[in-house]
Amino acid sequence: MKVLGGSLVMFTEIKAGIRYIGVDDTTLDLFEGQYIIPEGISYNSYVIMDEKVAIMDTVDGRKTDEWLANLEEALDDKAPDYVVVLHMEPDHAGSLQTLVEKYPNMKIVGNVKTFTFMGQFFNMDIEDRKVVVDEGDTLPLGEHTLTFVNAPMVHWPEVMVAFDSASKVLFAADGFGKFGALNGEIILKDISTWSCEARRYYFNIVGKYGMQVQALLKKAATLDIEMICPLHGPILDDNLGFFIDKYDTWSSYRPEDKGVFIAHASIHGNTAKAANKMVDILKEAGEAKVAITDLTRDDMAEAIEDAFRYDRIILAASSYDAGVFTAMEVFLSRLAHKGYRNRTIALIENGTWAPTAARRMKEIIATMKDITLIEDVITIKSTMNDDNIEQMKELAKVLVES
């Protein structure tokens, strides 16, 4: 937001001729119907002001009116020539039909799959307004020229990114996105505030498609990028190597940090007690970083994030219905779905009469790639005893030395 000549201007000039017109959403309870967002979310959109004017994506339909007000201020009585649709997901294309109807002379830019999906979401007669682009195609706007790069399955099949050679800006679609409203901080100021919610966003939204992200990173490496403009989260314009290195680590499924993550699912609290005791034992054994989560109460998306963050994990779960307690079943199924690999895993099970948790956990782990599973399982019968504690000490020694 800027004040020019006493008037409130609802956009931010981020580069010469490029204006941010996105909006925050702080009342949505669940993003994509499943991820809590206590700090909200931003829906980012941009306008390139040149001889030809191009709008870069729209926003969720929840915020159409606010976004249109920002857009009209940014356009300054000019009419847009193009709307570029990099991603058709409703949180970015939800205002598209309203925009198309408002500016009947505006062309719509997308690829073949973009327009296929567009026809599924909207009933619009736009055949004579389509500009179909593909890998390497350009859109000259004047001083600015957009070059399109296909990014299929990052994280939908139609996704493209666009590079402006004049400003050296990469419009990155959902790449480099982050949970959290911007609250006026359009361009990231403090790099230390980025990783946590960017990591939770990446592994839960994009994480399954590491190979496709790697392919996009290789393409991006050939571009002289000075600024990254994602569709969620702050714009990145400094120390870009930090963010690109994070994405390289995450998308290649390498552990980001050395540490032990303990995830427990406990019915009556006894397995939780053992998990918390394991934290103390690991620290006493010299493990520098130990994190723990209660899968029955804590944010599942954050547990997924931490599982990918650390190089070793202990799964502690109660037996349930001749299998494993539900929260652990869900957690491991999600990890497998997201491509979890390249980690060391140890198991603690609990069962009063016929412990079955480890057997079921092993079945799911067997579907994962490149996992080192510690052979010895710690089995608790109802409550942790001295023998269990000695076993946990031995496990700690193995993990610390690994």
Tokens of 253: 């499924």
Question: Per-residue pLDDT tens for 244-296?
Answer: 999 999 999 999 999 999 999 999 999 999 999 999 999 999 999 999 999 99
pLDDT at position 10: 78
pLDDT at position 6: 32
**CA trace torsion 58, 141, 168, 136 (10° rounding):** 90
Question: Per-residue pLDDT tens for 6-15?
Answer: 334 478 999 9
Residue 290 CA: distances (Å) to CA of 119, 199, 257, 300, 327? 49, 18, 11, 18, 21
Residue 3's pLDDT band, with cuts at 50, 70 and 90, is: very low
Q: Is pLDDT of 243 > 90?
A: yes
Question: Per-residue pLDDT tens for 131-145?
Answer: 999 999 999 999 999
Closest CA to 187 of 233, 224, 246, 245: 233
pLDDT at position 8: 41
User: How large a percentage of the chain has pLDDT more than 90?
Assistant: 97
Closest CA to 183 of 74, 63, 41: 41
Domains contained in the chain, CATH given: 2-251 (3.60.15.10), 261-401 (3.40.50.360)
CA atoms of 80 and 71, how far apart (whole Å): 10
> Which residues lie across from 350 on neighbouring strands?
318, 380
Terminal-residue alpha carbon distance, the chain: 52
**Mean pLDDT for the stretch of residues 43-47:** 98
pLDDT at position 363: 98
CA atoms of 15 and 104, how far apart (whole Å): 28
pLDDT at position 111: 98
pLDDT at position 11: 87
Q: Can you give the C-alpha Rg of the chain in angstroms?
A: 24
Question: Per-residue pLDDT tens for 220-238?
Answer: 999 999 999 999 999 999 9
**Mean pLDDT for the stretch of residues 162-170:** 97
Determine which helix (DSSP H) or strand (DSSP E) holds 19, and give its type and residue range. Answer: strand 18-20
pLDDT at position 402: 87
Lowest-confidence range among 1-5, 167-171, 246-250, 363-367? 1-5
CA atoms of 144 and 165, how far apart (whole Å): 7
Q: Which amino acid is at 195?
A: S
Q: Is pLDDT of 2 > 70?
A: no
Residue 4's pLDDT band, with cuts at 50, 70 and 90, is: very low
User: How large a percentage of the chain has pLDDT more than 70?
Assistant: 98
Question: Per-residue pLDDT tens for 311-360?
Answer: 999 999 999 999 999 999 999 999 999 999 999 999 999 999 999 999 99
